[in-house]
Amino acid sequence: MSFHRWKCSYLPFLLLMITCYSFYTRIQERANLCMSLHDVRPQLPGKTCMRLKKTILHTSLKMLKMDTFIQNVVAIQRCPFTENPKYLEQLRTELRKCCNASDQLIVTQNNTRIDDILNYETQQKKTIKVDKKIHQMLPNAMPFPRKPLKKCAVVGNGGILLNSCCGSEIDRADYVFRFNLPPMNQTYDVGTKLDLVTANPSILYKRFSALNEKRKPFADMMKVYGSALILMPAFSFVGNTDISFKVLYTVEDFGLDPKVVFFNPEYLKNLAVHWKMKGLNVRRLSSGLMLISTALELCEKVSLYGFWPFSQDLQGNRIPHHYYDNIIPNAKMHSMPDEFFFYAQMHSQGALRLNLGKCF
């Protein structure tokens, strides 16, 4: 066999071996990095932790001094998290009474009949009639178990996740919520598991031409989400309806595993009223707060990852807004720091665990 023929025969095999070795090397380097980043800071004394919790809980949003608040939140990460099942049950009862995610989070055939009129969440004068075609798009019932889920992880997309090594901890949750079709290529930090993920229509316009042209790139991307629920705000704005339906049709046409479902606008309106009564005055709740509220109602234990709306990490190092880019959200639409204030308070009261550090 000539050298040229030998090279042609074995070149693909050699390239495969080089690729595998490079991949293994990157994985090993990432594992070593996680070990080297081990947080050895000592825990704070019990009395200090109690003082920090009281300070955070007795702070009002109107009188909030953000720099001092951030310092307290960073410090309380060095305190052991103490669950408070009674307070969580109180929150769960309030959320069930106002909003009832277990029956109303998603528009289903059980909670919506043919010829029903849906009012859009943000455009009260705009309505849509649920005809037979739309009704057939809907799942028969809510896709959640009737009993509370055990451990839930709600994974935001914050840059605080970079080098967190939280992937394996996230993947041990029984149910994982994610947001805005995030890339899943930082597995050591963000994990691989997901059961429900939101899809912001703006992403579909920017990256996939609103599915008006070739749809295969979108279909290929969707494969990474396995059999997850893709939750879309089809009835939040009139402009979201058509693109949400296109996503559902594309998933079905390509025989993909994810299931596309739609937020119930009545649930979102009721939830906005609930948080406004708590003191949160924003134009619209973020999808993060929407699903954290859902998790508090549906889950026995809730842990948050990747929720940190600030430009520096706990050590003062600059970080991107997201773990995959530095695009800042529309401040006129959402107020992430104000929402984070409530996460910190719920962490201090033991209703949920706000993880901002490293996971080992």
Active-site annotation, residues? 334
Q: What are phi and psi of 31, to 5 degrees?
A: -65, -40
Alpha-helical segments (H) within the chain: 3-36, 46-57, 66-76, 85-98, 101-104, 132-137, 167-171, 187-190, 201-208, 216-222, 238-253, 265-277, 287-298, 336-348
Length of the chain: 360
Contacts with 161 (C-beta within 8 Å, 6 or more apart), sequence order: 155, 186, 189, 190, 305, 306, 323
Cα distance between residue 110 and residue 121, in whole Å: 20
Residues 282 and 267: their CA atoms lie apart, in Å, by 17
Contact 222, 258 (CB under 8 A): yes
Closest CA to 182 of 220, 214, 225: 225
What are the residues whose beta carbons fall under 8 Å from the beta carbon of 139, sequence distance 6 or more?
Answer: 106, 108, 109, 259, 261
